[in-house]
Amino acid sequence: MTPDDIRAQIAALLEVPQADLSIEDNLLDHGLDSIRVMSLLETWRAAGFDLTFADLAETPTIAAWSAIVAPDR
């Protein structure tokens, strides 16, 4: 999963244009709440990613999350 994939999913959850989200922005500042994080987490788990809420909550940025789901990048 690329940073652009993550950005697209988050933009859809927040109903904002993708261009509004920088990969270094704190997503909580954009209105991403725990309910939406859990929704995203469940989607990613269903896709085969072994993640926890704490993994995502620790550093809520697209850059950090893309490093977690694609550590070889």
- Residue 61's domain is classified under what CATH number? 1.10.1200.10
What's the pTM value of the predicted model, to 2 decimals? 0.89
- Measured CA to CA in angstroms, residue 10 lies from 25, 27, 45 at distances of 12, 9, 16
Q: Token match 């987490």: residue? A: 41
- Based on the structure, what is the number of domains in the chain? 1
Q: What is the pLDDT of residues 22-55, one digit of tens each?
A: 999 999 999 999 999 999 999 999 999 999 999 9
**Can you count the helices (H) and strands (E) in the chain?**
4, 0
- Which of 30-64 are b and which e, b meaning 16 or more Cβ less than 10 Å from the residue's Cβ? bebeeeebeebbeebeeeeeeeeeebbeeebbbeb
Distance CA 11, CA 18 (A): 5
Domain assignment of residue 36, given as a range: 3-69
